[in-house]
Amino acid sequence: MSKIIVQGEGKVIAPADKVTVVLGVETRDASAAKAASENARLMNETIAALLAAGVDQSEIQTSSYSLSTSQAEEPFGSKITVESPEFVATNMVTFSLNQTTGVGEVLDAAVSSGSNRIQEISFGLIDPRPQKDLALTRAIEDGARKAETAARAAGVTLGRILEISEGYGYVAANSRSAVFDMATPIQAGNMEITSSVTLTYEIS
């Protein structure tokens, strides 16, 4: 049985409608207990600020917590006395908003309440399935056009599709964040959903 294999690509651009943020609190003290206690206080205030700003409680979850020591190493052969170790408590939380407007105000509220670490801001789609389906449809149509063109050029007759394999891509396009200040401007940008397919046709 003779066959022809072609690849098709499809792309959909859609505005982001969801944002996920990873932020937290880092505190330092010569006492481990004080570092942890101050961290807990500031994190509680940060979470309270997020809730007051409209973030749903179910969308907030702890992503990491650590209590470690930070101490400068003594240079080899040095007679310098190394200071006592400093304890560092770090607590990070992840939260999501099913909107992209007002994100700057939410971040400002968190920072004003004690958060001093903004680790990540990423944008996405609440439900990417319609866009993925459309990208797949466009990829198959693109592959079909290529198969028809190749068949005509080769002087063969295109038959049924024997096999379809697919893949997806999901990336942010033109999204960026600004330096945090009052009413921090956050531009969500668009999401680019791509689909690629490999089509195997029977030919005669």
pLDDT of 178 reads 40
pLDDT-wise least confident of 5-19, 66-80, 101-115, 149-163: 66-80
Do strands 186-187 and 117-124 pair parallel, antiparallel, or not at all (unpaired)?
Answer: unpaired
Q: Report CA-CA distances (Å) from 115 to 12, 121, 180.
A: 36, 14, 12
Q: Which region holds residue 90: left if phi is over 0, alpha if psi is between -120 and 50, else beta?
A: beta
Long-range contacts of 162-165 (CB under 8 A, 24+ apart): 162/3, 162/200, 162/201, 162/202, 163/198, 163/199, 163/200, 164/140, 164/197, 164/198, 164/199, 164/200, 165/197, 165/198
pLDDT of 19 reads 92
pLDDT of 176 reads 46
pLDDT-wise least confident of 50-54, 67-71, 128-132: 67-71
- Of 96 and 82, the one with more pLDDT: 96
Nearest C-alpha neighbor of 110 from the set 49, 63, 185, 19: 49
Q: Where are the domains of the chain?
A: 2-15+127-203, 18-72+82-124
User: Does the pLDDT value for residue 47 go beyond 90?
Assistant: yes
pLDDT of 78 reads 55
Can 2-15+127-203 and 18-72+82-124 be said to share one CATH topology? no
- Model confidence band, residue 79 (pLDDT cutoffs 50, 70, 90): low
- Model confidence band, residue 84 (pLDDT cutoffs 50, 70, 90): confident
Among residues of the chain, what percentage have pLDDT more than 70? 86
What mean pLDDT do residues 165-193 have? 67
Residue with tokens 């006395």: 81
**Fold designation for 18-72+82-124:** Alpha-Beta Plaits (3.30.70)
User: Does the pLDDT value for residue 122 go beyond 80?
Assistant: yes
Q: Quickly count: other Cβ atoms within 10 Å of residue 90's Cβ.
A: 17
Polymer length in residues for the chain: 204
What mean pLDDT do residues 167-173 have? 70
pLDDT in tens, 126-169: 999 999 999 999 999 999 999 999 999 999 999 999 999 988 77
pLDDT of 169 reads 78
- Of 77 and 154, the one with more pLDDT: 154
CATH of 2-15+127-203, one of 3.90.1200.10, 3.20.20.150, 3.30.70.20, 3.30.110.170: 3.30.110.170
